[in-house]
Each structure stands twice: as structure tokens, then as C-alpha cells.
Amino acid sequence: MKIPSLDNNGNFSNQNEAKIVNTINSHINKNMGKDCSDFVSIVNQELNNIYFDEKELDFSKGIGKSQAIYNLYEKQGKISTKELPNIGDLIFFKDTVKSTKTTSKITHIGIVQNISNDNTITFIHNLNGKVTIGYVNMKNMDIHNIDGKTVNSFIVRCPTKNNPNYKCLSSKFLAGYGKVNGKEGFRE
């Protein structure tokens, strides 16, 4: 499907995709920011505000930063829920914290790193204070692993590891993708 374009030497043919992927990959397994939206903001700054200008975010209703980013993208018509994302797009999740179980809110955000041929989306995000790799596959929503490959990560704590609850998989919380304008992954 949508994987990073490679030239004949195995290098990214799209320099912007490569820049995004190299930037987010450089933070994996590191403590980067206090939460997921801090991580996205740090990457955004490192990439010269490709996702948003901090001044564009509206926190006036006491909402969190992930929700404010989602609202900005929604206002600009850049939220997609039907098609696969592109490398570098933002990925949004709803209701990943207990306080939002009765009212749907965007509570988590990451950055798309790759899309595999089986439609598994690999994303980088800050989870529990550490930048890590996550996976989501909407074609296999109730499956964690297929033949030893993770297709859906656990994005919230499950009651027990011995009997995992598949309602805890990332696919159950996916809210959509924040599409970055232009073919090259940078804002217009």
C-alpha cells in the first residue's frame, strides 16, 4: 500500500518523508516531553512547524492539546476517517483516559511512520512518558498479532495480561488522521 518511496539505492525518494521519519525515529525509546501532544509539538518545532503554528491552537474551552490540534485540523477540513493516512500524517485517538468514557474526546495523538501492505499503520507516539512504536489495523480490528506480527497495539491498560481484552486495542480508539497538505508532507 503506502510505504515510503525508495529509489534504486534503497533511499527515500521523497526527501520530506525521509525527514519526518528520521526525525520521529530519532526519539524512539527516549523520554521526550511529558505526554503525546508534547512529543508531537517537539517534532513539529524540529520540522519548522509543518503541522501547525502553536498560536493557531484554541484552548479556550479547557480542552487538551490533542483535542485542540484535532479541532484545528477539523476546522481546516484535514481530518480523514475513510482513507489510509500518508507517512507523516497525524493520527488521533479518542477516549483513551477514564475521564472521557462518557463524553467522546480526542485524548491521544501520534505521527504515522509507515503503512504496510496489509494496511497496518505504524505510528510513533509518547505513551507513559516514553516515545514508542504503535500499530493500528482497521481491517483486523479485533486482532493483536497475526503470525507473530503486531497489527494492533494495546493503547490503554487491560484488566489482565493473561486474558487480554481486545477492547483495549488501538483500533477501538482510532478517531482519524490529520492530513498534512501537499504531496510532500508539508503544510501549504
Per residue in 83-100, pLDDT tens? 999 999 999 999 988 765
Tell me the per-residue pLDDT of 119-132, one tens digit each, with 9 for 90 and over. Answer: 999 999 999 899 99
Question: Residue 6 has what pLDDT?
Answer: 44
Domains of the chain: 15-178 (3.90.1720)
Global pTM reads 0.86
Residue 49 region, left (φ>0) first, then alpha (ψ -120 to 50), else beta?
Answer: left
Instruction: Lowest mean pLDDT of 70-79, 89-98, 161-170, name the range.
Output: 161-170
Angle at 29 between CA 105 and CA 7, to 5 degrees: 95
